[in-house]
Amino acid sequence: MPNHQDRIDQLNQKLELLLSKQEGFAKELMALYKEIEAVKKLSPDQLAAKKVLPESTVEKPEAPEIPDAVVSTESKQEEIKKTTEVPIEPPTAEPVTQSATPKKIQKPKAKSNLEKFIGENLINKIGIAITVIGVAIGAKYSIENELISPLTRIILGYLSGLALLGFGIKLKTKYENYSAVLVSGALAILYFITFAAYSFYELFPQLMAFALMLVFTVFGVVAALNYNKQVIAHIGLVGAYAVPFLLSNNSGNVSTLFAYMAIINVGILVISFKKYWKPLFYSAFIFTYLIYASWMIFSYKTSEHFTLAFIYLTIFFAIFYAAFLAYKLIKKEQFLKSDIVLLLLNSFIFFGLGYNLLSGHETGKDLLGAFTLANAIIHFAVSIVLFKKKLADKNLFHLVAGLVLVFITIAVPVQLDGNWVTLLWTLQAALLFYIGRTKDVSFYEYLSYPLMVLALTSLTEDWSIGYESYYSHNDLKSILNSYFLTSVLFLAAFGFINWINQKFRISSQEKPAPKLPVVMSFVIPIILLLVSYMSIYLEIELYWNNLFADSEVIIKPDDTYDYSEHNYDLKDLASIWLFNFTFFFVALLAFVNIKKIKNRILGISTLVTGVAVSFLFLTAGLYILSELRESYIDRELSEYYEIGTMNIIIRYVSFAFFALLWVALVKLSKRAFMNMNLKIPIEIITHISILWILSSELLNWMDLAGSDQSYKLGLSILWGVYALLLIGLGIYKQRKYLRIGAISLFGVTLAKLFLYDIASLNTISKTIVFVSLGVLLLIISFLYNKYKNVISDETEK
């Protein structure tokens, strides 16, 4: 606030303006009186003549005087009203009257604000700072040159500080701002001298030095509150941080330094009970942790300083924590983003520095989890007090409670490892989501989202560690192992989260609608499905990998080094069973969606996944099945391994699972909730898949029969027959796209016949192929001619 002198000057300016306006009103009143007297002196004839004159003939100098006076009066009243509405600022409206007095009143306003700031505020602060620096330089010079005795130096220092303090207090009544600067400078000098007397000359015992500093701190707090000026706190308290470094002689007395800093911070804590001066708080916060961290980097020794460092780190943390909460709780104010940042910084700086101290200590490194948990307990105790005493708004309570959960989350991987980390994070996420959604506390729900991500990340890391094996045997037993149990518990927790998410849906009427919960309502089911799939997938892979590792046989030839062989058919069988499981999983998902969920997005995702997996099977899967067939035929390692008919039978098991998948996809595509016309693409993909599998099956049996013409003779005839079948089906069901597809297939077959088959076929084979395809073409042509009316009607429709 401005000082009393500024206030008096502003009020005097207003008074002068009102007096000038009053003078104008008096002149206008006199003019009105004169006009009334002039009208009274007119005779009745003259007055009647004036009344009947046209308005344009009335003398202009006399008629407008009364309206002008009224308008002038109204405008002046508005000016007075505007002036009274802004009591602090000088009047800004231009005076209506043309007298010289208002112009003189405007001249003080023309005074530069920058000039006023420099003259009244900046110069005195620079002056006191230079004075303090001068005292410090003089004291240092006298110390180095031994001009006066140590006791005399200290006495003179105290006298200088007290004299400046008394002079500043004396000027408080008339020059409050100037007085505040002098008092703060005196306070800094008293800190300066006390520290020097104790640290360098040992004139005071430690107890007395701290008692004096405590007195100065109390005085600084009282003065800052009494003056209501941050400058006293800044120069007197925060400025005192520079004292130990100005007078440092590298004695290494760090306990004195930290105790000194703690006293200053206690003063800031006391001030925070009355005021929340953020610049003061920021300055002290930065100075304290900067000094502490610098000391840790350059001078800290674990064997000498561990206990001291940990104790004072805790003290600093507690002081700033209390200072932050004090004003907010007393004044019951809402906290801002800057407040959140400050509280989080204090908590995480304390944790980071404390973690660093403990990790470098022989005993402390075993207590890292306990230390992290202790952080959570501290914030938990604060949150309980806030909640029970109802000392804060819900946002502050949620912030402190959030810190509890954060440190519990951090404590899990610090103290534990492996599956326990995943389980605790998962259960924590489920609990937070439950509280947040059912109790309508979005803060807890938002906290659960990063925990879900952490839990999923931890689970994937567990998988990579637990299931990692290829050539070596994994000690894990399929299904009966801790990793699968972890996956099951993870699924149970996320199933619970998904159930809560479905039961307590986010209201779509909220404006604006929260985006993150809407996004997570899609992410949570995706995580649930992926983990369900991968947990079983990894178990199947583990089973076959262990069989593969156990199949190792050491071969010892007579003329060379020993080497080992594995049954690679087991790897191929593992791949096929993984395909089978994938078919079953996607089909099951489709049937569940059809019967229970009826979700369009899930249906589209299932269709896309099913088609992708089908294409992968038709390419890679059928190739793996051909490898198993070749192994069965060649029987190269049959003396070491049993190569049975399972290599052939497995393909029909796969075809059964593949058929199950496509039945599910076809049924899903026809459901009303899908709201898509997928009939044509589904039917086309189905026929392509059938033809692909039939071609593979033809090659399989011709290979088993020992035929070497399977890729030429057999495939060409098969494709021709299938094209004929598509023509018949297209005519029967009146589906043009099937007939066009059949003609395209026949074109590919003819191209293959003339470009590939004919070059290597013998005469009999050529005859068979040409005759067969020719007959098929004739049949197709006959069908088109016989049913041309049906086809024509279909086209017209």
* Higher pLDDT pick, 437 / 415: 437
Band of residue 717 on the pLDDT scale cut at 50, 70, 90: confident
Question: Quick one: what percent of the chain has pLDDT higher than 90?
Answer: 19
> Which of 132-146, 419-433, 538-552, 634-648 shows the lowest per-residue confidence on average (mean pLDDT)?
132-146
**More confident call, 248 vs 649:** 649
pLDDT value at position 86?
43
**Which tokens belong to 474?**
């994994």
Q: What is the DSSP string of 9-56?
A: HHHHHHHHHHHHHHHHHHHHHHHHHHHHHHHHHS-HHHHHHHHHS-GG
- Give the span between the Cα atoms of 276 and 335, in whole angstroms: 11
Instruction: Quickly state the pLDDT bin for 68 (edges 50, 70, 90).
Output: very low
And the tokens for 788?
């041309």
Which pLDDT band holds residue 205 (cuts at 50, 70, 90)?
Answer: confident
> Domain locations in the chain?
4-110, 112-249, 708-797
CB 353 within 8 A of CB 293: yes
Residue 783 neighbours by CB distance under 10 Å: 18
How many CA atoms, within 13 angstroms, populate the side-chain half-sphere of residue 201? 20
Backbone angles phi, psi at 553, to 5 degrees: -130, 130
**pLDDT tops 50 at residue 127:** yes
Q: Give per-residue pLDDT as tens, 6-18.
A: 677 777 777 777 7
179-188, 322-331, 579-588, 697-706: segment of lowest average pLDDT? 322-331
Tell me the pLDDT of the chain averaged across its residues.
Answer: 77
Measured CA to CA, the distance from residue 35 to residue 66 in angstroms comes to 9
- The lowest-confidence range among 147-156, 528-537, 575-584, 785-794 is 785-794
Residue 565: its H or E element:
strand 563-565
Q: List the structure tokens of 83.
A: 């002036």
Dihedrals phi, psi of 106, to nearest 5 degrees: -75, -20
Residue 677 has what pLDDT?
87
pLDDT at 593 over 90: yes
Give residue 82's pLDDT band: very low, low, confident or very high (50, 70, 90): very low
Q: Which structure tokens are listed for 631?
A: 């192994």
Structure tokens at 692: 């692909």
- Would you state the pLDDT for residue 85? 43
pLDDT at site 490: 94
CA-closest candidate to residue 653, choices 579, 571, 542: 579
Q: Which comes out higher in pLDDT, residue 676 or 794?
A: 676
Give the pLDDT mean for 351-370. 86
Burial of 735 (0-12, 13-18, 19+ CB in 10 A): middle
Q: Which long-range contacts (CB under 8 A, 24 or more apart) does 475-478 make?
A: 476/542, 478/539, 478/542, 478/543, 478/546
Over residues 283-297, the pLDDT tens digits come to: 778 888 888 888 888
Q: Which has more pLDDT, 420 or 126?
A: 420
Give mean pLDDT, residues 309-317. 91
pLDDT at 792: 57
State what percent of residues in the chain have pLDDT above 70. 73
418 vs 461, higher pLDDT: 461
Distance (Å, whole) CA 343 – CA 328:
12
